[in-house]
Amino acid sequence: MSLLDKRYNLSLKLVFIPVVLVLIYSFTYMIDPYSDIWSEFENGEVKCILLEVFIDLLLSWAILEISVGISHALERRFQWTRSPVLRFILQTVLTIVTVGCVLYLQHLVFYFIYGDVELTESQNMNVWRFVWVSIFVSVIVSAVHTGYFFLQRWQLSMSEATALKLKTAELKEIAMQAELQSLKLQLDPHFMFNNFSTLSELINEDPAVASEFLNNLSRVYRYMIQNLKKDLVQLKVEIEFLKSYIYLMKIRHDDNMQVIIQLDENVMDSAIPPVTLQMLTENAIKHNIATGNSPLVIHIICKEGYITITNNLQRIAHTIPSTGMGLRNITDRYRILSGREPVIAETDTTFYVALPVLNL
């Protein structure tokens, strides 16, 4: 608790202590407005009245601390959400017993100040009335504090529910964009035409390679159908999918492109949003020249808690600039799923994206 919160709580207590005292006097007056107590207040010595009010203020402070303190103590082991009946019984009984003990201590204080004073029947009745009123007020304070506790919980749950709804809506929107972005492999006629053209040529030239090409092509589509709607997948599963995709690209680009994957086994059980590595590899192929003299080299490594995808930079002079949708999509998904964002950087010779390592 900060110093500001402590001062705020102290200010509240200084306000509520007199309120508790007023409640005690008010209920006592409502029960018997013609009691001797009030005539003693009118005709008694100022010094005695002030002393009695001071002691009653101490009692009010004790009632406030006891009622709130017992509620806080029980919340650690007997929460309202788990055992409400037991919590209600314990809180009520402990409050009554503890306030009763405090009232007995108050009696001892009066005994120490005034000595063994023999009370009349009316005075004795007033004492007992004061005792029961004090206990009743302590139960009221406990109930008010509990009501305030429930109000705070309700407000917190409502704000959390609202935040969760907003986050869910945002995640659905991002997931839809990711789905559309990755589904373009299925819907893009150029991708389809290029792969089926390659497959047609391979069937005539090398049926064995054609069969392997078709197997990898089916793995690519199967992975996307099975994992597209998931938030996270295991890195080793994503890598297997990426290898199938790389195989298709290698058949088309030969040795003009190289993808070097250097990941330790201990990172393979970590998590990654599906199709992320494929999207980054596709971006590198799409936006860079890949020839025999200037091959495109893509490195995938794990370093300092990040999976880094780096490629040598040799831009294709596009007439239409890139929209950056793929990188924005990956950034948004990481931000929503983990509160962290990838590091994207570019130098004169390289372009790299560092993805935070996530846990399933």
Cα dihedral sign for 276, 281, 285, 289?
positive
* Distance, CA of 313 to CA of 287 (rounded, Å): 9
For residue 294 the two structure tokens come to: 């200037």
Statement: residue 271 has pLDDT above 50: yes
* Distance, CA of 58 to CA of 38 (rounded, Å): 20
Q: DSSP letters along 30-45, please?
A: HH-TT-HHHHHHHHS-
Strand pairing category for 257-262 and 296-303: parallel
Comparing C-alpha atoms, which of 355, 353, 177, 165 is closest to residue 271?
Answer: 355
* Distance, CA of 220 to CA of 314 (rounded, Å): 27
Q: DSSP letters along 268-307, please?
A: TTSEE-TTHHHHHHHHHHHHB---SSS-EEEEEEEETTEE
E runs forming strands in the chain: 233-234, 257-262, 271-272, 296-303, 306-312, 343-346, 350-356
* Distance, CA of 325 to CA of 319 (rounded, Å): 17
Residue type for position 21: L
* pLDDT score at 292: 85
Phi, psi (degrees; rounded to nearest 5) at 259: -120, 115
Q: Which fold has domain 188-356?
A: Heat Shock Protein 90 (3.30.565)
Q: Any idea which of 32-36, 239-243, 322-326 has the lowest mean pLDDT? A: 32-36
- The Cα-based distances of 133 to 22, 137, 138 in angstroms read 12, 6, 9
Domain boundaries, the chain: 3-162, 188-356
Q: Tens of pLDDT along 62-85? A: 777 877 788 778 777 777 777 778
Statement: residue 5 has pLDDT above 50: no
Statement: residue 29 has pLDDT above 80: no
- C-beta atoms surrounding 300 within 10 Å: 20
Residue count of the chain, please give it. 360
- C-beta atoms surrounding 159 within 10 Å: 10
* pLDDT score at 280: 92
* Distance, CA of 176 to CA of 198 (rounded, Å): 31
* Residue of higher predicted confidence among 109 and 219: 219
Q: Tens of pLDDT along 184-235? A: 454 455 566 767 777 787 887 888 888 888 888 888 888 887 887 788 899 9
* pLDDT score at 236: 93
Residue 18's contacts (CB-CB under 8 Å, 6 or more residues apart) are 57, 60
Terminal Cα-to-Cα distance of the chain (whole angstroms): 33
Q: What is the pTM of this model?
A: 0.52
Q: Report the range out of 113-127, 161-175, 210-224, 338-352 with the highest average pLDDT.
A: 338-352
Residue 227's contacts (CB-CB under 8 Å, 6 or more residues apart) are 233, 237, 241, 274, 275
Residue type for position 223: Y
- The Cα-based distances of 103 to 24, 25, 73, 138 in angstroms read 13, 15, 21, 12
